[in-house]
Amino acid sequence: MATPPPTQAQLRPFRGAAWALYLVVAVGFSGLVIYSVTKSVFQMSPNRPAPATAKSVEVCVAGLTSLFDALEAERQKLTAPRASEADRRWLTFRTGWMVRLRELEAECALEESERSELRVAFAGLHKVMDLSTVEATQVAGQLGPALDSFRQQLSALPGGSR
């Protein structure tokens, strides 16, 4: 077996240190990404508070209607000026909206068997929120930059508005 040239033997400790540094950086970066994603998911998915006294079905329906109206109003603003930032604005809105929804769910006692229709309505509102979140992300990433660019081009023309 041939012995390695002296230059390779001299570099062996540095090679080991380079590998150790690489692993520390890679594991550290991965840990930070995992922490950030986990924290974000928990912030965007608030827990349902403990139920107090059950509200009437009429009050729950009025609350659902109010939440839906707020959701629709915000969804219609997705292509407003700076559409490329729609996902950031949407996620800020979504977090507060989800807290209000969880509080209403807790107040409406959805676990009771005679409130199955109300439970289905809440599930439908959850689905609308999920699809609206997908739409906000798509607007920001695909349609948003094109809208913002067109608005800038339009305003640069004589008589252009916005």
| Residue range of the domain that includes 31 | 13-44
* Domain match, 131 and 85 both: yes
Which of 5-19, 75-89, 112-126 ranks highest by mean pLDDT? 112-126
* Domain match, 37 and 87 both: no
Read off the pLDDT of residues 87-104 as tens digits, 9 standing for 90 and up: 788 888 988 999 899 888
* Domain match, 85 and 27 both: no
* Domain match, 24 and 94 both: no
Mean pLDDT along residues 129-138: 84
Task: Characterise 158 by phi-psi region: left (phi > 0), alpha (psi -120 to 50), beta (else).
Answer: beta
Q: pLDDT above 90 covers what percent of the chain?
A: 20
Read off the pLDDT of residues 24-33 as tens digits, 9 standing for 90 and up: 999 999 999 9
Where is pLDDT greater, at 89 or 147? 89
CA 35 – CA 66 distance, rounded (Å): 34
CA 84 – CA 66 distance, rounded (Å): 27
* Domain match, 106 and 35 both: no
* Domain match, 31 and 98 both: no
User: Do residues 118 and 56 touch, judged by C-beta distance below 8 A?
Assistant: no
Q: How many domains does the chain have?
A: 2
* Domain match, 56 and 39 both: no
The reported pTM is: 0.63
